[in-house]
A and B are shown apart, each in its own frame.
Chain A
Amino acid sequence: MNMSTILDHSFANVSLLAGMTPRIWYAIPLIVVISLVYGATRHENLREILIHAFRSAVWVIGFMSIIFFLIWVAGFWN
Chain B
Amino acid sequence: MPEIVYPQESGEPIVVDLQDPYWAAFLAWIWPGAGHFYQRRFAKGFLFMICVLSTFFFGLGLGHGRVVYASFKKGDMRWQYICQLGVGAPALPAIVQSMKTKNGNDPYWVLCERFPADYSMPSMAFRTITPENSNGYTGRTLKDGFMAPPAGPIHPEEMDPRTQVQTDTLGRWHYDYKHYFELGTLFTVIAGLLNLLAIYDAFCGPAILTPAQRERLESKHKKRR
Contact pattern, B 93-110, Cβ under 8 Å of A = 1, otherwise 0: 000000000000000011
Kindly state the separation between the CA atoms of A73 and B78 in the bound complex, as whole angstroms: 36
Could you tell me if B51 and A33 are in contact, using CB atoms closer than 8 angstroms? yes
Contact code string A39-54 (vs B, CB < 8 Å = 1, else 0): 0111111100100000
Contact yes or no, B54 A4, CB < 8 A: no
User: Which of B115-123, B164-172, B193-201 has 4 or more CB atoms under 8 Å from chain A?
Assistant: B193-201
* Chain B positions within 8 Å of A41 at CB level: 197-198, 200-201, 206-207
Contact of B6 among A11, A23, A33, A44 (CB under 8 A): A44
Q: Which of B42-50, B68-76, B134-142 contacts A (4 or more CB under 8 A)?
A: B42-50
When A7-B111, A41-B201 are in contact, do A26 and B183 touch as well, CB less than 8 Å?
Answer: yes
Contact of B180 with A by CB under 8 A: yes
Which residue from B43, B54, B206 sits with its C-beta under 8 Å from A33? B54
Q: How far is the CA of A77 from the CA of B41 in the complex (A)?
A: 54
How many angstroms from the CA of A65 to the CA of B201 in the assembled complex?
30
Q: Is the pair B109, A42 in contact by a Cβ cutoff of 8 Å?
A: no
Question: Which one, B54, B109, B201, contacts A7 given CB within 8 A?
Answer: B109
B84 is an interface residue with CB less than 8 A from chain A: no
**B contact residues, total (Cβ < 8 Å):** 37
- Of all chain B residues, which has the CB nearest A37? B194
Q: Are A34 and B206 in contact (CB under 8 A)?
A: no
Is A29 located at the chain interface by the 8 A CB criterion?
Answer: yes
User: Nearest chain B CB to A49's CB is how many angstroms away?
Assistant: 7
A37 near B187: Cβ-Cβ < 8 Å: no
Is A30's CB within 8 Å of the partner chain B? yes
Chain B positions within 8 Å of A40 at CB level: 44, 47-48, 197-198, 201, 206
A4 proximity list for chain B (CB < 8 A): 109-111, 146
Asked if A14 is at the interface (CB within 8 A of a chain B CB), the reply is yes
| Cβ of B179 under 8 Å from chain A | yes
CB-based contact B208/A18 at 8 Å: no
| B47/A3 in contact, CB under 8 A | no
Shortest CB–CB separation between residue B34 and chain A, in angstroms? Answer: 15
Can you list 22 pairs linking A and B with CB atoms under 8 Å apart?
A4-B111, A7-B109, A7-B111, A10-B61, A13-B61, A14-B58, A14-B62, A15-B62, A15-B64, A23-B183, A29-B58, A30-B186, A33-B52, A33-B190, A37-B47, A37-B48, A40-B44, A40-B197, A40-B201, A41-B197, A44-B44, A46-B43
Since A37-B51, A37-B52, A44-B206 are in contact, a sample of 13 more A-B pairs with Cβ atoms closer than 8 Å, ordered by chain A residue number, is: A11-B61, A11-B65, A15-B180, A18-B62, A18-B183, A26-B187, A30-B187, A33-B190, A36-B51, A40-B198, A40-B201, A42-B206, A44-B16
